[in-house]
Structure 1
């Protein structure tokens, strides 16, 4: 059966079900949101993190902050993304996707202005946290809108395409960040982000339709009940935890790459962005493979192969470094292959987790994003305890990717499909 036939079959079968079971608007009533706009708002949240990574040593010198203190600008940003996604999911289920997104983008823009004029590390940390809380709206609601507007037969492919396209921006952002920091100073990065925030607010206000046809009351008790239901769903928990670990396995590397490349390998700070961008390119390649093979390969193949590949590359990084053979070529190849594994597994994990929670798509998308950022925060925090950046990075990645494998196995054994 071709793809159109699958869509018609899925439409016929789901239209026969009650709306509460389907958990989304009927196919005939679904509206379309511009994919490029979903890409823009989704990448905005993580771009503000990736673009600042190469500037950590430069900004640290300007603000008289230690490397460990500057790494907290990444950790706090990840924490903000995690907490924010817990908030926007239920809000969007109650108010609609459009108003929740506009509220988040406005906060993102305002926090970018605060960071631009930050006179101290403490000011910058507070601004980064607020910016992350705003950027979380784009990550959560971009996925929820795709789920609102895609048929079941196309959901994994659409999510994979969104994931692929949103990785292109963060893949280029470390390069942009390196250039801006070296030639114009680290504050130029926030000029760029403020301009981007303005563009998102204007385009979303003018072009984004409301895609959610269902509403649920916004009450603390109801939100807590929804999250209890999600936590009580072992299939969702397994795929969510596994996907969170797979996606954020690159975060320990991004937090340590300025010090590995600049201090341990001796390359200039302007080269850091290229080493960071390699990871995003690897994840993009993995996501593209998943998108092309979806429908002909079972989802669990992507899950297990991707997590196993990432784990084996983390082990290889540790071994190569201990042998004294780590150089630029080895670092690029290992990090590229490791994050390609993340790209293979992440779209399938996201699709399976959202599909396992009908009627709670917004909350499930928010919880999934919370899991991703929570694991990223844990990873970036753990690498700060190590005296050797490469060893700390590799050991942390081994633990995270091994947990991903175990989580996929847990969810698969309990999945009815």
Structure 2
């Protein structure tokens, strides 16, 4: 929601857009680190109590962002926002694993991705109008109000999921060993890397898009909001296509296909931007095609990562989310670091992510056999 406000925020806080972009990087880093703490908490205390705490932190930090007077304070508040908000990300995935059979997790995660994708479709559009007619501070007031509503919904509507497990230790060594056990699971490791690396491509787009479209291509805040909504629809539509494709194809087959064409489109984007082939319309169309792959590979990779785990679904979900966000944070930092007067840092970052996921999937020769074998061993 605050992306359209980047230029105004930079001016108001007497800093550069690249420094404002670091607030998004800080958010991604906070999510990556924070999820590791929530995994054991969700397994030990159940899904809802840690969620309440996280939402409370997010609400307070949102108000802190709204009243920030410097970019340094904004970055710190965004970091705290992430530490609170990542509780919802971990709890949501863990609840999918709690409440649905393993044969349905990929389909349910596709629906979850749809719900998640609706917010970036609406948020920048709303943020563009809020920034244009009011002020960027109001964006964070809106986020605080939304968080309060979500907190109330979590109390009254959200199912409890897995029961608390008092036997789970929160001692650092025990937590570390539990995460290590999850990390050593071959199926988890392969699909976490595939989903994490390829799934970081939208972060390169998100962190660079405001500068590319508004400063380089000269679109307005409102126009940028609509462009962002259109590109978000690429991910929304493909997640629903994925839901249908799973009736005829396996998750592995869908991931293979999506990464192949994403690499081809990514290379085309890099060469096209370098040679100045694209107008804003041409760039948006190719990025739309590129981002459809995210809606195909992301939910399938997440499902295959989580399927082997039953008792430790919270820890597995936390480690999965943490690694994904850590990679996303590195990618977004790279795009900010190599900021230039062209769209090259953004499209190169997107393409490298797609190529990285493609390489991992090609290096692992046993992928077609991993999902069922690992799941049977877990239940044995």
Q: TM-score range by the shorter chain?
A: over 0.9
Secondary structure, counterpart of 2:276 in structure 1: coil
Secondary structure, counterpart of 1:356 in structure 2: coil
Question: Once the two structures are superposed, what CA deviation does each residue of 1:19-54 show, in whole Å capped at 9, x if it has no partner?
Answer: xxxxxxxxxxxxxxxxxxxxxxxxxxxxxxxx1111
Q: CA deviation at 1:394?
A: 1.7
Aligned residues of 1:234 and 1:411 also touching (Cα < 8 A): no
Aligned residues of 2:117 and 2:235 also touching (Cα < 8 A): yes
> Does residue 249 of structure 1 match 2:193?
no
1:113-262 aligned within 5 A: 113-213=63-163, 215=165, 216-262=168-214
Q: 1:223 to 1:191 in 2, by over 3 A?
A: same
1:368 match:
320
2:301 match:
349
Secondary structure, counterpart of 1:118 in structure 2: coil
Secondary structure, counterpart of 2:343 in structure 1: helix
Structure 2 Cα separation of the partners of residues 343 and 136 of structure 1: 21
Choose the corresponding residue for 2:41, options 63, 67, 91.
91
Question: Once the two structures are superposed, what CA deviation does each residue of 1:160-179 show, in whole Å capped at 9, x if it has no partner?
Answer: 11111210111111111111
Structure 1 Cα separation of the partners of residues 48 and 218 of structure 2: 47
1:403 match:
356
Q: CA deviation at 1:323?
A: 2.8
Using the size of structure 2 for normalisation, the TM-score is 0.93
Aligned residues: 367
Aligned residues of 2:32 and 2:322 also touching (Cα < 8 A): yes
Structure 2 Cα separation of the partners of residues 165 and 158 of structure 1: 11
Q: CA deviation at 1:356?
A: 2.8
Secondary structure, counterpart of 2:163 in structure 1: coil
Q: CA deviation at 1:309?
A: 2.4
Question: Once the two structures are superposed, what CA deviation does each residue of 1:328-352 show, in whole Å capped at 9, x if it has no partner?
Answer: 2112111111110011111110110
Aligned residues of 2:200 and 2:350 also touching (Cα < 8 A): no
Structure 2 Cα separation of the partners of residues 359 and 409 of structure 1: 31
Secondary structure, counterpart of 1:295 in structure 2: coil
Aligned residues of 2:45 and 2:164 also touching (Cα < 8 A): no
> Does residue 288 of structure 1 match 2:208?
no
Secondary structure, counterpart of 1:384 in structure 2: helix
Q: CA deviation at 1:185?
A: 0.9
Structure 1 Cα separation of the partners of residues 250 and 191 of structure 2: 15
> Does residue 336 of structure 1 match 2:288?
yes
Aligned residues of 1:311 and 1:397 also touching (Cα < 8 A): no
Q: CA deviation at 1:411?
A: 4.9
Choose the corresponding residue for 2:218, options 254, 266, 274.
266
Which runs of no fewer than 5 residues in structure 1 stay unpaired?
1-50
Higher RCO structure (Cα 8 Å, ≥6 apart):
2
Q: CA deviation at 1:410?
A: 4.3
Secondary structure, counterpart of 1:92 in structure 2: helix
Q: CA deviation at 1:398?
A: 1.7
Question: Once the two structures are superposed, what CA deviation does each residue of 1:72-101 show, in whole Å capped at 9, x if it has no partner?
Answer: 011001111111111111110011101011
Q: CA deviation at 1:248?
A: 2.2
Q: CA deviation at 1:376?
A: 1.1
Aligned residues of 1:283 and 1:342 also touching (Cα < 8 A): yes
> Does residue 76 of structure 1 match 2:26?
yes
Structure 2 Cα separation of the partners of residues 101 and 359 of structure 1: 19
Using the size of structure 1 for normalisation, the TM-score is 0.85
1:25-36 aligned within 5 A: none
